[in-house]
Amino acid sequence: MAMGAPRMNGTAHPLSAIAGHCNAEADEGSMVVVASKDDKHAAEEMSASMQQRLVESSTASTGVDEEDTDAVEMAARMQRRLDVLPGRPHESEPFTIFRVAGPMRDRNRHLYEPQMVSIGPFHRGAAHLRAIEEHKWRYLRDLLSRSSGDGAATLASYTEAARVLEPRARRHYTEPTGHLSARDFVEMLLLDGCFIIEFFLKGEDRASDALIDAAWAMQNVSNDLLLLENQLPFFVLECFYGLATGGLGRDHLVTNLLAKYLTVETPQDAATAKPPDGEIHHILHLYYHWFLPTEDVAPAADNNQEAEDKAFDEWLAKPMDERVPWLLPSASDLKDAGVTFRAKKSPRSLVDVTFRPGDGVLEIPAVESYTNRAAFANLLAYEQSRGRWELQRLMSYVVLMASVVRNGRRDVEILQRAGVFVKGDEETAAFYAHLGELLGGAATAWGPAHDDYYTDLFRDVREHCGRSWNRHRAVLAHDYFSNPWTTMSAAAAVLLLVLTVVQTVYTVLPYYHS
């Protein structure tokens, strides 16, 4: 019979789409097919199979469309986020203000968090710092009153300057500052920047002020201004100082105002202090520049893959004891190996440690005058934030001191007798040891020791300790010449030995003579 609408046991076939297609083919003059019962059964099975395939195909097609739609929407959202990022691809961000991370911060939060005044966005709004916020408004009023006349800077001038600097200032913080609106961020720059300028101006004027006159408050504010997490970009301070003084620039701010306060406990003299070459990042960067004056050192390797691979290969080719140059023996072990400790006279800086291989003298600057541990810890944190290709002078010094005093009291006594620790401060030794432990992972992470400040010194010390004669001489000096009584005993023993030899010679000579 002719195939019109296929029937199964007298009922219409469910695949109407296929039926329509078949009807269309029939209208076009296709041949008539006569099917038996077996043929009808086979056709029914084939139709069911085709129906299942179409359903599966339709379901899969719908799922793909939905996934494609979700992917397009997600890509659009992510693209909007990418479009608002500052800078350009492959352009390094100008990050200069970091939050201290890792074990350095976890065990020493009091060294890195402000105790009295917050500067910048990281600690803004902290409960224990709210008392000083009112003083910031008072200091802003005092700074505005310093200038008068037609050309004087007004509050609107400061506000407009802060508004212009806001996008640039945001890019200097490593953590997002999106929680602060543009208005809030501008207000923060204005209040914090003017507070810093007025704080130092009041100190220069020796004006009567409750905050300045209280010694504990003055010290706490000064400490908080040297914390890495508590900084403003220096160009903000420079701009506000120019408005307050009628156009005086960066050099005048640095040499005539800040040098009087930031050169305390540094080898740099305030009268001869100069700003560093290039950009000043913030107040802590300026303090680091004067705390560790620039020295004539070999230029650091270029930050490229070829130089890094070459340095790493050279590091791998060294013996194990040279791969880890920070493993200097303790003071007691060095003394047993013939090394003599002395306090260095007129050091260029705290890290000016030298070793004389000829006589085995290790000279270390005395550390009793430097007691501001919070500033020291933040100087160290700032140095590590500069990048792996920068010379790590302070980190090298901390690791050296930590290794020298690792045995505790005995090592402290040796350095005390040498004048390095004038007070024999075990707490200071523990501070170095603690920082050394925290830096252990960071030190090994540097890999090649090309950035270690004491590479040559460590090599000379190891060579000196490796000579057996130096060790024997040290044992001799320790056992027989450590005090006048043992020296007299040793001299008497030597004299007795000489007399015995002479007596023996005179006893034997007559026998050979006869």
* Residue the block writes with tokens 């005086």: 248
At 98 the pLDDT is 95
At 510 the pLDDT is 78
At 120 the pLDDT is 97
DSSP class of residue 11? Answer: E
Three-class DSSP labels, 304-366: CHHHHHHHHHHHHCCCHHHHCCCCCCCHHHHHHCCCEEEECCCCCCCCCCEEECCCCEEEECC
Question: Which residues of the chain fall below pLDDT 70?
Answer: 1-66, 150, 295-305, 307-309, 311-312, 314-316, 318-327, 368-371, 388-389, 423-424, 440-451, 467-487, 490, 513-514
224 within 8 A of 164, measured Cβ to Cβ? no
465 within 8 A of 337, measured Cβ to Cβ? yes
Closest C-alpha to 114, from 104, 102, 99: 99
At 428 the pLDDT is 82
Tell me: the pLDDT tens digits for 449-502?
445 788 889 888 888 887 655 554 545 455 544 566 666 776 777 778 888 888
At 224 the pLDDT is 96
* Residue the block writes with tokens 């800078």: 87
At 487 the pLDDT is 64
> 482: burial class by Cβ within 10 Å (0-12, 13-18, 19+)?
exposed
Instruction: Report in angstroms the alpha-carbon separations of 122 from 113, 224, 367.
Output: 10, 13, 32
Distance of alpha carbon 514 from alpha carbon 510, whole angstroms: 6
